[in-house]
Amino acid sequence: MKKCEYCAKEISYFDQYCSDECEQECLRHYALNERFSKLFLVINTICIFGIPVGLFFAAFNPAVGIGLASLSCVVLGAMLIALPFPTEGMVRKHKLKKAKLMCRIFGIVVIGMGGLVFGLQFILK
Strand residue runs (E) in 1-125 = 2-3, 10-11
Task: Quote the CA–CA distance of 71 and 78 in Å, as a whole number.
Answer: 10
Task: Quote the CA–CA distance of 2 and 13 in Å, as a whole number.
Answer: 6
The angle subtended at Cα 32 by Cα 112 and Cα 44, nearest 5°, is 40
- pLDDT value for 62: 87
Task: Quote the CA–CA distance of 31 and 17 in Å, as a whole number.
Answer: 17
Task: Quote the CA–CA distance of 88 and 99 in Å, as a whole number.
Answer: 9
Helices 62-82 & 20-57, crossing angle to 10 degrees? 170
Query: What does the pLDDT look like over 6-48, one tens digit per residue?
Result: 999 999 888 899 999 999 999 999 999 999 999 999 999 999 9
Model confidence at 124, in pLDDT bands (50, 70, 90)?
confident
